[in-house]
Chain A
Amino acid sequence: MPQLILQTDVASLVIENTKKVFSVMLHTDVSHHPAIIFDDPRGPEGDVVSLVGFVGQWTGTGSVCCNSKVARKISGLMLLTEFDDVNEEVLDAIGEVTNMIIGNLKDALEPALGQLGLSTPTVIHGEHLRARNLNGERWTTISFDCVGGILDVKVSLRPSGSP
């Protein structure tokens, strides 16, 4: 029953994948807060918001969002440099972090949900951005303590064509 698999597993898969990406690519550990499983009406929020779309028998969105300082620090660890501003390199690095976290989640979910496609990431930067879905989806949200701030990973998935 895919719905049961999602409710029990999406959060733990996100936690596992996020920790792995930070450990392997950034050589730093992250700790997570309790997941809000399919009960968070808030979409992605932050100064830097990265979004990828799922397509297939299930559709939805995966997101990584944080403030500018966290985005700069994550990118600095990944590229072994320091960033004073959120520039193209920072946006690219956050997009790639999103791609790895959500891409590995997609692979782990495919045995239960069928083949899924994943869009390339869209990363936007501004002040206190908020993203919303227009179809009333709710999100699985996991917040991580990392590089002295908070990084949110949010996933919203539903069967294709469901009301």
Chain B
Amino acid sequence: MALEVLIVDDSSAIRKILVRVLSQTNLPIAQIHEASDGVEALRLLESGNIGLIMSDINMPNMDGLQLLTAVRGNPAWKHLPVIMITTEGSQAKVLEAVELGATGYVRKPFTPEEIKAKIESCFSGTVG
């Protein structure tokens, strides 16, 4: 089944890079949606058939952790893979994201290989 991916980041540069990385994976990607904050992401989640979320943490309006909380609080999205991609690398922030239900965590700057490996681990059951 083809996958719809939602990229959430207030930086259009990072969104472009992630779209490029996703296009280089072997995943059967049907569509890539982009949102610049959590509010826009929730709107897209409600209207689409998203199978993977890749989200920044520090964003205006609704940040990545608030988005993660909203996603995990909705029965329809409870088991959706959510990868946090952020400069926030402190142990406390990573733990907070994991406790809120993040499936994976990647720090910026990142290599395409790190992103690909994290996505593949989401769909193979090996997460972290």
Whether B13 lies near A104 (C-beta < 8 A) is no
Segment from B75-83, B87-95, B120-128 that makes contact with A: B87-95
With beta carbons under 8 angstroms apart, the residue of B10, B60, B87 that contacts A100 is B87
Which secondary structure characterizes the binding site on chain B? Answer: loop
The total of interchain contacts (Cβ-Cβ below 8 angstroms) comes to 57
8 A Cβ contacts from A71-86 to B: 75, 78-80
Interface size (A, Cβ < 8 Å)?
A: 23
Alpha-carbon gap, A20 to B109, bound state (A):
8
CB neighbours (8 Å) of A92 from chain B are 11-13
Name the distance in Å between B88's Cβ and chain A's nearest Cβ: 7
Whether A120 lies near B12 (C-beta < 8 A) is no
Which secondary structure characterizes the binding site on chain A? Answer: helix
With beta carbons under 8 angstroms apart, the residue of B58, B88, B90, B110 that contacts A120 is B58
CB neighbours (8 Å) of A20 from chain B are 109
With beta carbons under 8 angstroms apart, the residue of A21, A79, A103 that contacts B13 is A79
Alpha-carbon gap, A100 to B107, bound state (A):
9
Q: Any chain B CB within 8 A of the CB of A160? A: no
- Asked if A24 meets B110 with Cβ closer than 8 Å, knowing A78-B17, A92-B12, the reply is yes
A residues near B (Cβ < 8 Å) are: 20-21, 24-25, 75, 78-80, 88-89, 92-93, 95-96, 99-100, 103-104, 107, 110, 115, 118, 120
A-B residue pairs in contact (CB < 8 Å), sample of 28: A21-B109, A24-B110, A24-B111, A25-B109, A75-B13, A78-B13, A80-B20, A92-B11, A92-B12, A93-B11, A95-B11, A96-B11, A96-B13, A96-B14, A96-B108, A99-B11, A99-B58, A99-B87, A100-B87, A100-B109, A103-B88, A103-B108, A107-B89, A107-B90, A110-B90, A115-B92, A118-B87, A120-B10
